[in-house]
């Protein structure tokens, strides 16, 4: 089925007499008639529900919808996008392992990878995604287990060359993990370009109404773990915590997903509440209608900003002059997203004055919402990073991140115009 139909209908197929709308199974536990049945669930011999930390029908229905939209074999919801990226890496990396990541990534992910994972003994090397294949390959080591990038970087708005990254990852026998938060599967499906695993902060466009913080991991099922078994003992050798079960042998294409839910979620427990999954599902039902409008509005605003002499620079891949335009035409032919990065001529204070003068457009620590909002990463989300780290992460100190919503574009333009007049 087409994406629009999947947005509306995938994941929940009610049987005769059941609720048409996805019900909220706000229950921690599930009842069984005898001990044997419950024991089979614990042994992973049967599929079913017993405790919401492992699986919940509402959460699973929403995960199935996202898996269908991405074209994956399975998906798991997490309590946040941060948790999704952490689990995606931690499912295949342990102390002593290493991975390679684009340095054009979200500030929270940058900290998670560069600081927190290091404390767990997992190291990473940040690479410039625009570097040559040889340069990026040089960052790989014998203990490297994954390559990571963002389809469209937050907040730099650079488009990833997914095919190039997939080629490099596969030459080194490791999967490519892509954070597809900004384009969503409506505008890009990374599996079609060779990515193996996709992550999302569902807090953003997927929800789209700023009502829940959530994340998701989707597996294409395409990566052949057993072909590189020595690199992935967690998937290809017996798991002591599951009576010696080997995920690849027992679950085939679902090995990575099963380990995620049955082992990592069991032990770490970052699940979303079923109520949050319900809200996310409402957002997903209109994702295919909202994304084109975000892109249409952002395109007009990016063109307006580029033509204004008070604006120093604009990054929006829909602009023909943008450095990511060629990649966007290949990977995002129907539009990228509603996020624009730009800088004003003047000082940091000029940016602050502009933002403080906006009336309709609000300053919020959020992005990818139905309501247009604005943020100055250097003084907000990326505060912890030094100026050098900021530049490494593709964030200029004067960068303003404008997240264009789905209001009438003329009202948005009027607000931007009057704020520019005040600087
Ligand atoms: C927001 C964001 C995250 C983190 O997600 P949370 O839901 O805020 O935890 C990760 N990656 C990208 C690209 C994001 O925009």
pLDDT exceeds cutoff 90 at 393: no
* Lookup: tokens for 115: 């600081």
**Angle of the 287-307 helix axis to the 409-421 helix axis, nearest 10:** 30
Number of the ligand 1 atom closest to the C-alpha atom of 182: 13
Confidence band of 396 (pLDDT split at 50, 70, 90): confident
User: How far apart (Å, rounded) are the C-alpha atoms in residues 355 and 423?
Assistant: 10
Alpha carbon distances (Å) from 196 to 85, 111, 217, 220: 14, 23, 11, 5
- For the chain, the average pLDDT equals 95
Distance 216 CA to ligand 1 centre (A): 11
**What mean pLDDT do residues 107-136 have?**
97
Where are the domains positioned within the chain?
A: 3-282, 289-421
Phi-psi label, residue 140: left if phi above 0, alpha if psi -120 to 50, beta otherwise: beta
Q: What is the per-residue pLDDT for 128?
A: 96
CA separation for the pair 48, 40 (Å, rounded): 9
| Residue to mutate, 87, 107, 108, ligand 1, most ligand atoms under 8 Å from C-beta | 108
Which residues sit with their C-beta closer than 6 Å to ligand 1? 80-82, 106, 108-109, 150, 154, 179, 181, 201, 203-204, 213, 215
Please state which CATH number belongs to domain 3-282.
3.40.640.10
Which sign, positive or negative, has the C-alpha torsion 352, 354, 357, 362?
A: negative
Residue 215 CA: which ligand 1 atom is closest? 7
Measured CA to CA in angstroms, residue 224 lies from 190, 229, 415 at distances of 17, 9, 52
By CB atoms closer than 10 A (0-12, 13-18, 19+), residue 76 is buried
pLDDT higher at 31 or 348: 31
> pLDDT, tens digit, for every residue of 124-139?
999 999 999 999 999 9
User: 394 pLDDT band (50/70/90 cuts)?
Assistant: low
pLDDT of 37 above 90: no
Strands 98-102 and 123-127: parallel
Does the structure show a pLDDT above 80 at 371? Answer: yes
* Domain 289-421, CATH class in plain words: alpha beta
């Amino acid at each position: 089925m087409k994406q629009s139909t999947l947005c509306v209908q995938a994941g929940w197929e009610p049987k005769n007499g059941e609720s048409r709308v996805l019900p909220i199974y706000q229950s921690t536990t599930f009842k069984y008639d005898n001990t044997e049945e419950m024991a089979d669930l614990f042994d992973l011999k049967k599929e079913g529900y017993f405790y919401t930390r492992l699986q919940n029908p509402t959460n699973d229905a929403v995960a199935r919808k996202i898996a269908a939209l991405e074209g994956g074999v399975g998906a798991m919801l997490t309590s946040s996008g941060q948790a999704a990226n952490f689990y995606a890496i931690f499912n295949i990396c342990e102390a002593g392992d290493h991975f390679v990541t684009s340095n054009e990534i979200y500030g929270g992910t940058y900290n998670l990878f560069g600081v927190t994972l290091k404390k767990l003994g997992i190291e990473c090397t940040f690479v410039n995604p625009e570097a040559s294949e040889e340069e990026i390959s040089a960052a790989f080591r014998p203990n490297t287990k994954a390559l990571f990038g963002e389809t469209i970087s937050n907040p730099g708005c650079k488009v990833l060359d997914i095919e190039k990254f997939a080629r490099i990852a596969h030459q080194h026998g490791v999967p490519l993990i892509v954070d597809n938060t900004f384009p969503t599967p409506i505008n890009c499906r990374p599996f079609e370009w060779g990515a193996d695993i996709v992550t999302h902060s569902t807090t953003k466009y997927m929800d789209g109404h700023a009502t829940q913080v959530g994340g998701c991991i989707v597996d294409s099922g395409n990566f052949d773990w057993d072909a590189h078994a020595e690199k992935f003992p967690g998937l290809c050798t017996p798991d002591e915590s599951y009576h010696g079960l080997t995920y690849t042998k027992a679950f085939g294409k679902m090995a990575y997903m099963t380990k995620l839910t049955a082992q990592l979620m069991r032990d770490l427990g970052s699940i979303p509440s079923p109520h949050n999954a319900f809200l996310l599902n409402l957002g997903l039902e209109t994702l295919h209608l909202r994304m084109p409008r975000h892109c249409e509005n952002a395109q007009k605003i990016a063109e307006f900003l580029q033509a204004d002499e008070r604006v120093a620079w604009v990054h929006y891949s829909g602009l023909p002059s943008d450095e990511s335009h060629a990649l966007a035409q290949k990977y995002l032919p129907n539009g990228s997203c509603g996020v624009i990065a730009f800088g004003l001529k003047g000082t940091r204070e000029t940016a602050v004055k502009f933002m403080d003068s906006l009336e309709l457009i609000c300053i919020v620590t959020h992005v990818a919402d139905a309501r247009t909002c604005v943020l100055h990463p250097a003084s907000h989300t990326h505060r912890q990073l030094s100026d050098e780290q900021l530049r490494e992460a593709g964030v200029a100190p004067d960068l303003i991140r404008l997240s264009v919503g789905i209001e009438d574009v003329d009202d948005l333009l009027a607000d931007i115009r009057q704020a520019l007049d005040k600087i």
